[in-house]
Amino acid sequence: MTRWQLFREYILVLLGTAIMAVAFNIFLIPNLIAAGGISGIGIIVYYLYRFPVGFTILLLNLPLFLFAARVFGFRFIFRGLFGAVSLSALIELLAPLPVATGDLLLASVYGGILMGVGIALVFRARGSTGGTVLAAQILNKMFGFTSGQSLLGVDFLVIALAGIVFNLELAMYALISLFVSSRVIDLIQEGISNSKATLIISDQTELIAQKIMSDLDRGATVFTGKGAFSGQPREMVLTVVGQSELHRLKSTVHEIDPQAFVIVGNAHEVLGEGFRNP
């Protein structure tokens, strides 16, 4: 990796943590929405003792990073430490930002959206902000728990604690925010695409592939499988088309072979000629 690429990744971590800090200050902290994780504990502590959220996050993260350094090595946790310190500092620097809304539903939804965008950018830069993600990695390494089990367990405990300290209604809004942020992370990580991946099983695969290339100007791959019931070899065509081209593709296949078996699925992200560059 070049120095320029490394620099870009650290800038992306800064941008992601800045977006997260904005979400905290204009949506989540003022409305006491503790959507899981160490940041959720920070909001609970702020409500009880008025201790700054950013400092709480940093103080709770430091023992985790020290422990992780012993388990994984310092090189593994350095970028995560950078993200955690950046997030904590930016939350405090951006604290004077005005509150966007007092409506709990709007705050949980839009706070979740911004959190999801910020976290996804940090992940794209191969970074971390510590917290429950780091705790999950430690539990996975030491006790064999999956990352998903660890994250779900810790986030559930924090939201349950918020329900006890605040009230059940705020805990439910925190769950909404957690769900929204996780969906946004998935959308950004997997990509948003209207492309369709199509698998066509037919006795006329060569003709179908030629039509796809000539009429739709798309590439196609022909390969051989075996029918599980008949045990006979069957040829298949794999191609990816845009949403607007799907009807033409199905019509073309039906004209050539009305008995063709066609499977259509969403392709979250497509890289290559005719689509996006990597």
- CATH for 205: 3.30.70.120
Q: What is the pLDDT of residue 216?
A: 84
108 and 124, same structural domain? yes
Neighbours of 222 (CB within 10 A): 14
In a domain, 148, yes or no: yes
Residue 243 lies in a domain: yes
Domains in the chain, number? 2
Instruction: Using alpha carbons, select from 173, 138, 129, 135 the residue that is nearest to residue 152.
Output: 135
Query: Distance of CA 124 to CAs 8, 15, 102, 204, Å?
Result: 11, 11, 32, 42
Nearest to 177 by CA among 38, 17, 47, 34: 34
Question: Does 115 lie in the same domain as 250?
Answer: no
Whether 257 and 138 map to the same domain: the answer is no
Which residues neighbour 154 within 8 Å (Cβ) at sequence distance 6 or greater? Answer: 36, 37, 132, 135, 136
Q: 230 and 182, same structural domain?
A: no
Residue 114 lies in a domain: yes
pTM score:
0.73
CA 174 to CA 112: how far, in whole Å?
A: 9
Residue 92 lies in a domain: yes
Assigned domain for 126 exists: yes
Within a domain: 273: no
> Which of 151, 166, 190 lies at the terminal end of a domain, its last residue?
190
CB 101, CB 107: distance < 8 Å: yes
Among 190, 222, 237, residue at a domain's last position = 190
What's the confidence (pLDDT) of residue 218? 87
- The answer on 219 and 117 residing in a single domain is no
SS3 242: coil
Whether 275 is covered by a domain: the verdict is no
Regions of the chain with pLDDT less than 70: 1, 72, 75-76, 133, 136-152, 190-194, 268-269, 271-278
Q: Check: CB of residue 118 under 8 Å from CB of residue 20.
A: yes
Q: Do residue 120 and residue 204 come from a single domain?
A: no
Are 83 and 25 contained in the same domain?
yes
pLDDT at residue 172 in the model: 92
| pLDDT of the residue at 208 | 93
> Domain limits at 259?
196-266
pLDDT of residue 92: 93
User: Does residue 271 belong to any structural domain of this protein?
Assistant: no
